[in-house]
Structure 1
């Protein structure tokens, strides 16, 4: 049990005691009570708002209630002092022994420090990437891929059962365009001069091997054949080839999905019809006519009766058609059915989408609320595009890909870990620049380097102590100084950060914390540059060296734990 969890339990027990003593009403709601670090570190180590949030419903004066709670907190052996600020905030300073005990907990729990069971086995489906299967992954997909994968790992760390899912959009017109593009490459492989790729087809050279494979298998059978004879076959083969490429590209980032769901298979299995039937049975789909779009005159607008989902009942600004006038499913109708399918096997759903899909969030949220009767938590995380730069200049597009820079090219140039860490250095919905020069720069301004450098420095300490002939002793943690205790206090916040990041569905918080921890460690290290007595390895004082090295190793453990959540390897040496 980590320190903050333990003090939350102390607070629960304390309030239970006050209720038993008649000092608080038995039915009082305690959900808003928190125990956390104060905003100003000079106020102490922990703060609680218990008196502030409980006083009014209990009919008590906040200051008086704070005094009662403070007296009970002062009796805890871990607490050194308690003070009351303002009308009732309670601040606590903990004993050095308490922080030393937390440092030992980091050592004992190792890779498990920061993990918890708060997710209680609740199942979460995280759907991410889901790029159209029409070509290799590009950097427009990269950020969502990393955010989704890191989020899935983060949720597992707090005790959720997670399914990583990829939705294959293989039922729309874009896969017919793909099949026609492949047919062109098939003819080219058989010796035909196809010239410039016609407008509207996919021009990338990545389709050349697909055409060659089809030429080897079918020879000239489909060269002059009607499209109806080969379109379905070429579509199936092309999608399969693209998905193999996509899986390979994602593997370069260390990303592997548990489930690949096909939109075409979903429709073939009648899932949209099943969703519509359920909604009609609950009076949530009706046949009606949409209002004319803004700017359309009555002469321009031909009203058509369509099946409409009562999206406005769930907060959307208008009801939404689930079918087109020709009877085929709208994108929304197909997506609605897909989410209905996902909700059958998960308690919570998370979608990672590009920011260009922001306009469809409300309607999908409305559909999930309807189809799960409000029982499934559903979050959509919007991810902004990444602007690629090289020394501040926009990067030229890839000829092989046709009109974009491939993810594989970027990973091969700068490495998986640099890409993954960089994608998590900003909140997902914030704009991001990815400069090839800056992300590999050996500078404190480069968060990837700065965190890895901290870990590499820590890894070097054991070697340096051995080379200096220091005989390490069992660390006497009572010798931790003020600077060392400040590091312990920061490190001890890691489990809270993990919990909060998982609850908010924001894996970038881990990167932010590691940046703060690395900066604090580097600051501690640098104290020894001016004062030899403050170095971590003090050759003539093995006891101080043992204590400081023990602390450094626990900082290194937390860096490793955080990087593991991000899918990044902690380096022991920097090249």
Structure 2
């Protein structure tokens, strides 16, 4: 049940009736008619812009349309009052029965808030995709949590979602980690490792070196690199991916697909993707213009194989093959996205780090070209996470081997805190992660505040059950909610009513942080009602009168059901007791 959608339907039905009666010109486009919460809660429960958006095409004054619409809506039993404001906005106040229906819907099962807006569309969400050179660090963690929450949100809103990790195992960085592992292998064989400049010095490679020794003994010692590198490279990559999978599991992330970049090389798949573009007249030999700004010292005009990405909105055409015949980094990306399109996805979402901003236009251009504009690509960039500890910035350096890993974060603050706090800002805004504040048990710590609201409800349910009150959702849904009339109670009911609408907005905009914000506000309304009950006994959830108690507990349980659903999308546990 989506009360906002239901009332919008009532508004559009009234407008259709006005057109049929000649009060409005026939055939008006009602697409832009909205029903939303008013900016000022004092103005009502909902507001519609219908009169404002229809005035010009109808050739009527907005207030005239609003007044006629208000008369029609007054006949709807769910609408207690329809008031014209300003130049023609229409504010609606709902009858108590409308809020009672919301509570029954929320108590009616796990379906409240779920949406079919996705219509089963197949969506591929690719996220994390860290190079297999070491454990997941905090820089990857934000994109990992964002991508996972987005995937869950889209599934909740009715999409058919595939979670995917692209393994960057085709580039030179995998050779670097293989050489680093070989030094740890030499160490395991009793020799002194030589961690040269540019190699990975982290201690996480010591067990990999030991595993390599267990596999090959000392047979690789003394061999030239061209003999041991082809063996060590896949061995190291597999061990790194085992490490990455374990890191992701620690924060509750499980991928559906792990796609290897290496599988694109030597299989004709890159060539096939470029042939597809060539067939569309988008591949040519040419020389790019020199880069703008300060000229790099090593730049020289060279003829290359180029993708005409400017035909699909890019700023410049992009090289796909170098003058020496080697593929550019972009070539396998083209083949990879072509593979996604060929797998039949209706929509693609790439979650990348902020340092990939320069790739957005070229990726969108190539997906548009390969799919003939059929498959949209949304590239979401996740900005940096700034770490603070003991009031001071906490630095990390992957090369130095002193970086903070995802596992470090989970060990120090727990999975739930990591996931929730990574979603307390929009993905394209920097985020501060303060180890001390994340562990605070206060209103300033959003994950604690939201979980505390859920736990408080369950403490009420336990006490009520001890007193003989039937507190199953089914029993509570049959309660007489007419006793819920205090503004603090109605405010909580209104917040619960916004959940289905919020889900659809967050899914449509690909913004799971909206869920975190909403949950905090919902928890605030619940805690406010709880605190009012300390001073006003009539607002307490536990009452001597059984019917009144069931109504008030039903309100609380409805809030908890929504909190649990929202936390489920974020991948956070809805705890029943605070420990």
Please report the TM-score for the alignment, with normalisation by the length of structure 1: 0.95
Query: In structure 2, what is the Cα distance between the partners aligned to 1:218 and 1:298?
Result: 45
CA contact (8 A) 1:4 1:35 kept: yes
Of residues 554-563 and 209-218 in structure 1, the stretch that sits farther from structure 2 once superposed is 209-218
- Deviation at 1:86? 2.0
- Deviation at 1:470? 6.4
Alignment partner, residue 442 of structure 2? 443
Of residues 467-476 and 133-142 in structure 1, the stretch that sits farther from structure 2 once superposed is 467-476
Instruction: Tell me the alpha carbon deviations over residues 255-296 of structure 1, each in whole angstroms, 9 at most, x when there is no partner.
Output: 011111111102232222112111111111211001223467
CA contact (8 A) 2:305 2:321 kept: yes
Q: Of the candidates 478, 482, 495, which is equivalent to residue 478 of structure 1?
A: 482
CA contact (8 A) 1:206 1:400 kept: no
Alignment partner, residue 201 of structure 1? 199
Matched, 1:526 2:531: yes
Change (3 A) 1:179 1:297: closer
Alignment partner, residue 498 of structure 1? 503
CA contact (8 A) 1:491 1:558 kept: yes
- Give the 5 Å matches for 1:150-161: 150-161=149-160
Secondary structure of the residue aligned to 2:427 is coil
Query: In structure 2, what is the Cα distance between the partners aligned to 1:213 and 1:300?
Result: 42
CA contact (8 A) 2:2 2:501 kept: no
Matched, 1:164 2:163: yes
Alignment partner, residue 139 of structure 2? 140
Instruction: Tell me the alpha carbon deviations over residues 192-244 of structure 1, each in whole angstroms, 9 at most, x when there is no partner.
Output: 1225x111111112112222222222223221112111212211111111111
Structure 2, unpaired ranges of 5+ = none
Alignment partner, residue 191 of structure 1? 190
Change (3 A) 1:323 1:547: same
Change (3 A) 1:200 1:480: same
Change (3 A) 1:16 1:457: same
- Deviation at 1:24? 4.1
CA contact (8 A) 1:471 1:542 kept: no
CA contact (8 A) 1:7 1:35 kept: yes
CA contact (8 A) 2:200 2:400 kept: no
Alignment partner, residue 129 of structure 1? 128
CA contact (8 A) 1:102 1:492 kept: yes
Query: In structure 1, what is the Cα distance between the partners aligned to 2:39 and 2:295?
Result: 58
Change (3 A) 1:251 1:301: closer
Query: In structure 2, what is the Cα distance between the partners aligned to 1:296 and 1:4?
Result: 54
Change (3 A) 1:487 1:218: same
Q: How many corresponding residue pairs? A: 572
Instruction: Tell me the alpha carbon deviations over residues 345-397 of structure 1, each in whole angstroms, 9 at most, x when there is no partner.
Output: 21101111111111221111111121111111211111112122222223465
Matched, 1:515 2:514: no
Secondary structure of the residue aligned to 1:268 is coil
Of residues 465-474 and 255-264 in structure 1, the stretch that sits farther from structure 2 once superposed is 465-474
- Deviation at 1:76? 1.1
Change (3 A) 1:299 1:334: closer
CA contact (8 A) 2:200 2:399 kept: no
Alignment partner, residue 217 of structure 1? 215
Alignment partner, residue 569 of structure 1? 573
RMSD value, Cα:
2.1
Matched, 1:553 2:554: no
- Deviation at 1:135? 0.5
CA contact (8 A) 1:24 1:58 kept: yes
Secondary structure of the residue aligned to 1:133 is coil
Please report the TM-score for the alignment, with normalisation by the length of structure 2: 0.94
CA contact (8 A) 2:123 2:347 kept: yes
CA contact (8 A) 1:123 1:347 kept: yes
Change (3 A) 1:298 1:570: closer
Change (3 A) 1:278 1:26: farther
Query: In structure 2, what is the Cα distance between the partners aligned to 1:130 and 1:141?
Result: 9
Change (3 A) 1:239 1:26: farther
Alignment partner, residue 38 of structure 2? 38
Change (3 A) 1:263 1:299: closer
CA contact (8 A) 1:8 1:35 kept: yes
- Deviation at 1:326? 2.1
Query: In structure 1, what is the Cα distance between the partners aligned to 2:398 and 2:495?
Result: 48
Query: In structure 2, what is the Cα distance between the partners aligned to 1:149 and 1:326?
Result: 40
CA contact (8 A) 1:79 1:93 kept: yes
- Deviation at 1:174? 0.1
Query: In structure 2, what is the Cα distance between the partners aligned to 1:114 and 1:557?
Result: 10
Alignment partner, residue 330 of structure 1? 328
Q: Of the candidates 542, 548, 559, which is equivalent to residue 546 of structure 2?
A: 542
